[in-house]
Amino acid sequence: MTSISENRRAILERMSQAVRESGREPESVHLIAVSKFQPEESVREALRSGQRVFGENRVQEAKTKFATIKQETQDIELHLIGPLQTNKAEDAVRLFDVIQTIDRPNLAEAVAKAIRKTGRNPRLYVEVNIGNEPQKAGIAPDKLAEFLTYCREKCGLTITGIMCIPPHDAPPEPFFKAMKILADQHKMSHLSMGMSADFEAALRCGATEVRVGTALFGERKVTP
C-alpha cells in the first residue's frame, strides 16, 4: 500500500498535467483533501506531507477531528462539503473557513445570522444540482441567478464560488462544462468540482479546486 504522502505527490502531479492542458498555471488550482471518515492520524500524515486544505462533510465529525489540529496549525483551511442543517449553521460558521453547500434560502439566512453573531467571515459557495437530479441537494442551474440575488440582496451574503457533484452514472464532462459556464456568467472565482475518479476531467473543464478523498487517503473507514 502506498503512503498518503506518495499518493499526494502523484495526485498533485496529475493535477499539474491536467491544469496545463487547460492552459492555466498549476498554482491556480487547489487540492482539497477530503478526510471524512478518516482518522485524525491520517490528517496528521497529510499535514506532514504539506497538505493544508481539508474537506469534511459533517460539522460534528470535523469539530472533533480538527479541534486540536486547528490550534496547532494556524494555516489550515477547512471546507464544509456536506449538507448543512440550519441549526448547525453557527457551529459551521465558527469552525469552517469555507462553506461550499449553501443550497436553500433558509440556510442562507441562518448562515447570514451566524456570521453577524460570530463576526467570522467564511468563504461561501452555492451547491448546484447540475444534473437536475430529484434526490440531490443543490440549486437547479436555471434557478441559480435568482438564488444568488436572494443571497446577496436579502441576506447580505457574498457568494464567491459554486460546487457540484455530477450524476455518477454518466460521463461528467458535460456537467463540468455547464458548471464552468455558470461560474463565468456569475463571475465566481471558485469552482469546486472533481473527485477521485474524475478530478483531471474537472480541471480540464476549469475547476479551481478538486475534492479528493479515496485516491489520497485510501478507502474510508465505515464509521468514524
Ligand X SMILES: *Cc1c(COP(=O)(O)O)cnc(C)c1O
Residues that bind ligand X (CB under 6 A): 34, 36, 57, 81-82, 165, 195-197, 211-215
Scan for cell 480541471, then name that residue. Answer: 203
Q: What cell numbers appear for 184 in the block?
A: 463565468
Q: Which is nearer to ligand X, 54 or 147 (CB)?
A: 54
* Minimum CB–partner distance for residue 211 and ligand X (Å): 4
In this structure, are residues 155 and 127 in contact, taking their beta carbons and an 8 Å threshold? Answer: no
Q: What cell numbers appear for 35 in the block?
A: 478526510
Q: Which is nearer to ligand X, 153 or 222 (CB)?
A: 222
Exposed e or buried b for every residue in 153-177, given b needs 16+ CB within 10 A?
Answer: eebebebebbbbbbeeeeebeebbe
In sequence order, the β-bridge partners of residue 99 are: 80, 124
* Minimum CB–partner distance for residue 90 and ligand X (Å): 22
In this structure, are residues 30 and 208 in contact, taking their beta carbons and an 8 Å threshold? Answer: yes
* Minimum CB–partner distance for residue 38 and ligand X (Å): 10
Q: Which is nearer to ligand X, 84 or 113 (CB)?
A: 84
Q: Which is nearer to ligand X, 5 or 113 (CB)?
A: 5
**Which residue is closest to ligand X by CB?**
213
* Minimum CB–partner distance for residue 117 and ligand X (Å): 27
Cα Rg, the chain, nearest whole Å = 17
The H or E element containing residue 53 is: strand 53-56
**Residue among 164, 165, 133, 159 nearest 147 (CA):** 159
Q: Which is nearer to ligand X, 141 or 213 (CB)?
A: 213
Inter-CA distances, 196 with 15, 93, 151, 205, 215, Å = 11, 27, 31, 16, 5
| CA 156/CA 112 separation, integer angstroms | 7
Q: Which is nearer to ligand X, 47 or 215 (CB)?
A: 215
* Minimum CB–partner distance for residue 32 and ligand X (Å): 8
* Minimum CB–partner distance for residue 142 and ligand X (Å): 22
